[in-house]
């Protein structure tokens, strides 16, 4: 699987990325609200953190995770510079997130899903850290020719993503239109007391 090159962090922070979609508008469409606890998966350069931080306000909290130490260092600096008091940046492993069970209201995953080595295993780990009925907002590249992002053969189709989410025990709510290059999935982590 294609992993992101940490050298490209600066590119990840490019305002040009706003041409993909309007983060604030899309996050609100996904149901992000003040006071929520959010997990920003594969935060990279922390591009979306100012938008998430603003929407959830000071009573909310964002855990920004990445498996790359360079990304974590870069984002910690950025969070400090921007004075984002409700953001904590953490180094994560692919299938082990360093936060307790039942912590998160809202998992945000933008342009990360196609890089996962074992999507099912990772989704089960997200389910562990998510509260019952927690939301997942998943955005990824459309599987078609485009002038941005990875080649179409390196990403999943919407249908494939939907199947994987259901297999991992999520209830897919709807597919959200997020712009010409990407699609968004809105899903819910269902947890039965017996079977987490």
* pTM for this entry: 0.91
Q: Please indicate, yes or no, if residue 124 is contained in any of the structural domains.
A: yes
Q: How far apart are CA 153 and CA 145, in angstroms?
A: 10
Q: Please indicate, yes or no, if residue 9 is contained in any of the structural domains.
A: no
Q: What percent of the chain has pLDDT over 70?
A: 91
Interhelix angle for 49-56 vs 69-82, to 10°?
50
Q: Please indicate, yes or no, if residue 179 is contained in any of the structural domains.
A: yes
95 CB neighbour count, 10 Å cutoff: 16
Q: Left (φ > 0), alpha (ψ -120 to 50) or beta: where does 35 sit?
A: left
Q: Please indicate, yes or no, if residue 125 is contained in any of the structural domains.
A: yes
Q: What is the pLDDT of residues 41-80, one digit of tens each?
A: 999 999 999 999 999 999 999 999 999 999 999 999 999 9
Residue 172 belongs to domain with CATH number: 3.40.50.150
Is residue 194 very low, low, confident or very high in pLDDT (cuts 50, 70, 90)? very low
Please give the structure tokens belonging to residue 35: 């006071």
Q: Please indicate, yes or no, if residue 195 is contained in any of the structural domains.
A: no
Structural contact between residues 104 and 129, judged by C-beta atoms closer than 8 angstroms:
yes
Interhelix angle for 158-167 vs 119-129, to 10°?
60
Domain that holds residue 116: 21-189
Q: Please indicate, yes or no, if residue 161 is contained in any of the structural domains.
A: yes
Domain count, the chain: 1
Q: Report in angstroms the alpha-carbon separations of 176 from 21, 114, 157.
A: 12, 18, 14
Residues 6+ apart with CB under 8 A from 174: 185, 186
Q: Please indicate, yes or no, if residue 1 is contained in any of the structural domains.
A: no
Is residue 7 very low, low, confident or very high in pLDDT (cuts 50, 70, 90)? low
Q: Please indicate, yes or no, if residue 37 is contained in any of the structural domains.
A: yes
Q: What is the pLDDT of residues 90-101, one digit of tens each?
A: 999 989 999 999
């Amino acid at each position: 699987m294609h992993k992101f090159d940490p050298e490209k962090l600066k590119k990840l922070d490019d305002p040009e990325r706003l041409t993909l979609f309007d983060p604030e508008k899309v996050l609100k469409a996904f149901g992000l609200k003040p006071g929520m606890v959010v997990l920003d998966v594969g935060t990279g350069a922390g591009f979306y953190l100012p938008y998430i931080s603003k929407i959830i306000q000071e009573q909310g909290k964002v855990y920004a995770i990445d498996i790359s130490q360079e990304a974590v260092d870069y984002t910690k600096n950025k969070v400090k510079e921007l004075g984002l008091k409700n953001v904590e940046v953490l180094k994560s492993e692919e299938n082990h997130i360093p936060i307790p069970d039942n912590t998160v209201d809202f998992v945000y995953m933008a342009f990360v899903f196609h890089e996962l080595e074992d999507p099912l295993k990772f989704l089960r780990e997200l389910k562990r850290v998510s509260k019952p009925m927690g939301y997942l907002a998943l955005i990824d590249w459309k599987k078609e020719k485009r002038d941005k992002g990875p080649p179409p053969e390196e990403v999943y189709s919407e249908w494939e993503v939907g199947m994987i989410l259901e297999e991992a025990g999520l209830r897919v709510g709807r597919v959200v239109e997020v712009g010409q290059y990407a699609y968004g999935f809105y899903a819910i982590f269902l947890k039965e007391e017996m079977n987490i």
